[in-house]
Amino acid sequence: MSESIVVGIDGSECANLALDWAADEAVRRRRPLHIVHAVDNTPYRAPLFTPPETVERLTRMSHRVLDDARERVGRRRPELQTTTLLVAEYAPKALQLQSENAYELVLGNRGHGGFASMLLGSTSLRMAARTTVPLVIVRGDTDDRGEVVVGLDLSKDEETTLSYAFDVAALREARLRVVHAWLMYPTYVEAGYAPDDEKVEAEIRKQVASAVAPWRAKYPQVDVVEEVVIEHPVAALANASRSARLVVTGAHERSWNAPRLGSISHGAIHHAHCPVAVVPR
């Protein structure tokens, strides 16, 4: 679905929250909403070993999930153009295919299955490492109030991350907090290297200001706060998320053989207190 907002659902409460968030996002951005429900394709691939009534029951239940989702969106956003799709496929693969040409992909932080103590579902975690479009993982407080927070890593190319964050802040008429956190490695301290924290922080602030300056000029209507803290980046983003409506972070790094989720992004989507947008670099 070209340039649509794609949301993956499974009928769980977390998925319903993601559906609500995606519907509001689609209306705000004036884009259609595409609802995808992926189910295990084993019963469909092995009909000789699966009782016909099992396949029929699975199909009915899956269509009911989509029908309920469409009705929920209709009550919340009756003006929204909405399509639905049932896919008999491994969920991450189905979502990746359906979101290839989308504007955004939206998922709940957990779905059916797994363990109640898990902070993030396996599908959401896999998609965060592999997404080619911005992925919003809906978790925590979904009330659309407060700041937009973006984590800035000065060692990475954050152009797409900052572009997305400024666009979100402008669209929502929200303040944007740009957070850069840094720590001195303990081994340096143990080796006797004791830098002047004030000088280091002053230099970092200059670098942050330089990285943000082009986006300030492009989005003069956005109120921007630049925050530099001596703290672990994950803790800094988690703390900032307590009063935020959305945390934005860069998506993944690439090893020699496969994409993998960067440690900061991984930590943010596990511990944030609000929805998290993971933006591919």
Q: Are 229 and 236 in contact (CB under 8 A)?
A: yes
The tens place of each residue's pLDDT in the chain, 281 residues long, gives: 569 999 999 999 999 999 999 999 999 999 999 999 998 766 555 555 556 666 677 788 889 999 999 999 999 999 999 999 999 888 888 999 999 999 999 999 865 544 333 334 578 888 888 889 999 999 988 888 999 999 999 988 899 999 999 999 999 999 999 999 987 655 444 445 555 567 888 999 999 999 999 999 999 999 999 999 989 999 999 999 999 999 999 985 555 444 556 678 888 888 899 999 999 97
Task: Return the number of other C-beta atoms located less than 10 Å from residue 75's C-beta.
Answer: 9
Cα–Cα distance, 103 to 107 (Å, whole number): 14
Identify the helix (H) or strand (E) that includes residue 26: helix 13-29
- For residue 116, what pLDDT is reported? 38
- For residue 114, what pLDDT is reported? 44
Looking at the domain covering 5-138, what would its CATH class be? Answer: alpha beta
Cα–Cα distance, 67 to 201 (Å, whole number): 54
| CATH 3.40.50.620 intervals, the chain | 5-138, 147-279
Place of tokens 């189910």: 39
Q: Which two tokens stand for residue 214?
A: 């082009």
- For residue 124, what pLDDT is reported? 81
3 state SS of 150: strand
Q: Are 237 and 268 in contact (CB under 8 A)?
A: yes
Please, is 227 exposed, middle or buried when counting C-beta atoms within 10 Å of its C-beta (0-12, 13-18, 19+)? Answer: middle
- For residue 195, what pLDDT is reported? 56
The dihedral sign for the CA sequence 68, 69, 71, 72: positive
- For residue 177, what pLDDT is reported? 98
Domain with residues 147-279, CATH architecture: 3-Layer(aba) Sandwich (3.40)
